[in-house]
A and B are shown apart, each in its own frame.
Chain A
Amino acid sequence: MEESTTGDWSETGLDESDGGDRDIEQIPEAETIIEARNLDVYYGEERALNDVSMSIPEQKVTAIIGPSGCGKSTFLRSINRMNDLIDIANVTGELCFKGKNVYDEDVDAVALRRQVGMVFQAPNPFPKSIYDNVAYGPRIQNDTENLDEQVEQALRQAALWDEVKDRLDERGTDLSGGQQQRLCIARAIAVDPEVVLMDEPASALDPVATSKIEDLIDELSEDYTVVIVTHNMQQAARISDKTAVFLTGGHLVEYGETDRIFQNPRNERVEDYISGKFG
């Protein structure tokens, strides 16, 4: 474990004011890289996140699960401020990345997103060559000294290199869905971000492509912090170290070690949700 460069975690993840309805564990064994404190997100009048506090450990996979419309994507987008792009979205509370509240006046969302990459539900490669897709991030950051190596490394990390190394100049949009999604992952990690956010990255893919992505996420967690939204409970159980369960109304209801959450959920509604009784 590296030396801590970030804010203390002693107060992370705890919501002391709140009694029995929530169960949010501390994360004592790893450094916190992202921490939400009393985070609320509104779309106009509608409240999509309700007083969310949690801390996400560095270089782990944290899964976010919950029924449709409970605010999973909203939470993910609030981490890299993609909510800024939605006119009616309004965020209150704090979201700290390495101890810095990203909603502070002096934070530039563009700079933040260069360290917190994102992979979307549907693969969205640029209509450019495979190479240019991966090179896009390094290029806009003027980090092109070893561009060829960076592109190759990112594609290798995304387990796509062997499939595309002979046709890097073909269009990214001509790949299969699963390949496109791995290309998008390669594109996101080519700039060596701290965090990779993934919003249901495998939901548009078949089982084989899905399992490739899952293997990949496992490997990515050696170098990156991964926060992944998924609808697939088995997937969350398989790939994540921590699991956060959101329930309707944008409440974070339970958060802790994945194994513990799935074997022994403390909250009744979470238990119902996990065992498929609703959601």
Chain B
Amino acid sequence: MTEYFEEPDLSGNRGFQSLREGFYKALFFSFAAATVLTTIGIFLTLFVDALGFFRSYSLVAFLTGLDWSPSLEPVSFGVLPLVFGTLTVTFTAAVIAIPVGTLTAVYLSEYAAARTRAVLKPLLEILAGVPTVVYGFFALVYVTPVIDFFFPGVSTFNVLSASLMVGIMTIPMVSSISEDAMSAVPDSLRQAGYGMGATKYEVTTDIIVPAATSGIVSSYILAISRAIGETMIVTVAMGMQASIPAVKTADVFGLGIPFVHPGEVFLGSGQTMTAAMVQIANSDLAGGTIAYESLFAIGLTLFAITLLMNIVSNVISERYREEY
């Protein structure tokens, strides 16, 4: 014989709950939808206007042309000089930001005493918060004179100073995200390493860095994407001379080795895709002209490059997923 209690009330009636839940869901959905729609809208505008450009200018000529001159007759819309400018800046910035940022992250995460870290981390974050126009100004006013000291005759607006500044600007991005990734490696793994008689250097290089690879590589990709999209520094400090340096041939043991003179790449002016877009947007070119529409063609190209970077980044994080 089982005697039951009074039947419990499990109806959970809190008054109009299905209605309220439905309302919340709709509310949150509308915000998510607004974000997605904005993105799609931007992409569509870009795409439609770029299409307008490609109706009057050949896609092949755009993608392979070596001359960018949107306002001087005869006009020419070869995007390669701009891509070259962007790649030069990005590559140089990466060469600075990746090693400096990674080593800073290693120091902060594994070597610095708690007190040192408490001071340094916020300082780095301040560096990340400086408006980029300040970096651009700094490049122009302080870095270029230093370059001029070593390489007299450098242009006032030059690729090197802008690239250096973009590199410095992206250091905090690499160091902060990499440091987060390294700090997130569980302490038990450090203990395991030290317990085996590993030195701090061995624990860092054999255990912490490999375990944090996915986060570290993500920080690189993010920094590179940031450098590709950086606009203000290059607009202020790099000039407006889109050009591809001449490829020369060096005779090495009878072999013709093609090379580009670094001075030609770095010490003169240059222009990135972003800076070219600013220039067009600021000029008095009327809407609807082909030069104006070329802005969207560059934008679409940039978009494609950034998208590619994102895909690469996802593939890499997938490959090096943290498994601790």
Q: Which residues of A contact B (CB under 8 A)?
A: 80, 82, 85, 87, 110-115, 117-118, 120, 122, 124-128, 136-137, 140-141, 171, 173, 184, 187-188, 191
Given A124-B188, A127-B211, A118 contacting B113 (CB threshold 8 A): no
* Contact call A117/B211, Cβ cutoff below 8 A: no
A residues within 8 A CB of B198? 110, 136, 140
Closest Cβ–Cβ distance, residue A4 to chain B (whole Å): 25
* Contact call A117/B195, Cβ cutoff below 8 A: yes
Closest Cβ–Cβ distance, residue B151 to chain A (whole Å): 46
**B196 closest partner in A (C-beta):** A137
Contact mask for chain B residues 309-324; partner A; CB cutoff 8 A; 1 contact, 0 none: 0000000000000111
Q: Is B189 an interface residue (CB 8 A)?
A: yes
* Contact call A110/B191, Cβ cutoff below 8 A: no
What is the bound-complex CA distance between A136 and B322, given in angstroms? 19
* Contact call A124/B192, Cβ cutoff below 8 A: yes
What is the bound-complex CA distance between A273 and B194, given in angstroms? 34
* Contact call A136/B323, Cβ cutoff below 8 A: no
Contact mask for chain B residues 185-208; partner A; CB cutoff 8 A; 1 contact, 0 none: 010111111111111001000110
* Contact call B323/A111, Cβ cutoff below 8 A: no
* Contact call B195/A118, Cβ cutoff below 8 A: yes
| Further pairs besides A126-B192, A127-B211: 9, Cβ < 8 Å | A80-B195, A82-B191, A85-B190, A87-B114, A113-B195, A120-B188, A120-B191, A127-B189, A140-B206
Interface centre among A80, A87, A125, A127 (most CB of B within 10 A): A127
Contact pick for A173, options B194, B195, B196, B324, CB 8 Å: B324
Interface residues of B in 158-202 (CB under 8 A from A): 186, 188-199, 202
What is the bound-complex CA distance between A108 and B186, given in angstroms? 25
Interface size on B, residues (CB 8 A): 23
5 A-B pairs with least C-beta separation:
A114-B197, A113-B197, A118-B195, A124-B188, A124-B192
What is the bound-complex CA distance between A114 and B198, given in angstroms? 8
* Contact call B197/A110, Cβ cutoff below 8 A: yes
What is the bound-complex CA distance between A87 and B186, given in angstroms? 18
* Contact call B194/A187, Cβ cutoff below 8 A: no
What is the bound-complex CA distance between A47 and B5, given in angstroms? 55
Q: Which residues of B contact A (CB under 8 A)?
A: 113-114, 186, 188-199, 202, 206-207, 210-211, 322-324
Contact pick for B191, options A124, A141, A187, CB 8 Å: A124
What is the bound-complex CA distance between A113 and B196, given in angstroms? 6
Given A113-B194, A173-B323, A87 contacting B188 (CB threshold 8 A): no
* Contact call B197/A184, Cβ cutoff below 8 A: no
B residues within 8 A CB of A137? 196-197
Say what secondary structure dominates the interface of chain A. Answer: mixed
Q: List 5 A-B contacts (CB under 8 A).
A: A82-B194, A110-B199, A114-B197, A140-B196, A140-B202
B residues within 8 A CB of A128? 210
What is the bound-complex CA distance between A43 and B191, given in angstroms? 18
Closest Cβ–Cβ distance, residue B38 to chain A (whole Å): 39
A residues within 8 A CB of B323? 127, 171, 173
B residues within 8 A CB of A171? 323
What is the bound-complex CA distance between A188 and B193, given in angstroms? 10
**B323 closest partner in A (C-beta):** A127
* Contact call A141/B210, Cβ cutoff below 8 A: no
Closest Cβ–Cβ distance, residue B88 to chain A (whole Å): 37
**B198 closest partner in A (C-beta):** A140
What is the bound-complex CA distance between A191 and B198, given in angstroms? 12
Contact pick for A111, options B197, B211, B322, CB 8 Å: B197
* Contact call B196/A117, Cβ cutoff below 8 A: yes
Interface centre among B189, B197, B199 (most CB of A within 10 A): B197
What is the bound-complex CA distance between A87 and B198, given in angstroms? 18
Contact pick for A187, options B186, B196, B211, B324, CB 8 Å: B196
A residues within 8 A CB of B188? 120, 122, 124
A residues within 8 A CB of B197? 110-115, 137, 140-141, 191
* Contact call B206/A85, Cβ cutoff below 8 A: no
What is the bound-complex CA distance between A137 and B203, given in angstroms? 12
B residues within 8 A CB of A114? 196-197
What is the bound-complex CA distance between A128 and B189, given in angstroms? 11
* Contact call B207/A126, Cβ cutoff below 8 A: yes
A residues within 8 A CB of B192? 120, 124-126, 184, 187
What is the bound-complex CA distance between A87 and B206, given in angstroms? 23
A residues within 8 A CB of B324? 127, 173
What is the bound-complex CA distance between A80 and B190, given in angstroms? 15
Given A87-B113, A87-B114, A173-B324, A124 contacting B189 (CB threshold 8 A): yes
What is the bound-complex CA distance between A137 and B194, given in angstroms? 11
B residues within 8 A CB of A141? 197
What is the bound-complex CA distance between A187 and B197, given in angstroms? 12
What is the bound-complex CA distance between A115 and B199, given in angstroms? 14
What is the bound-complex CA distance between A120 and B189, given in angstroms? 10
A residues within 8 A CB of B191? 82, 85, 118, 120, 124
B residues within 8 A CB of A82? 191, 194-195
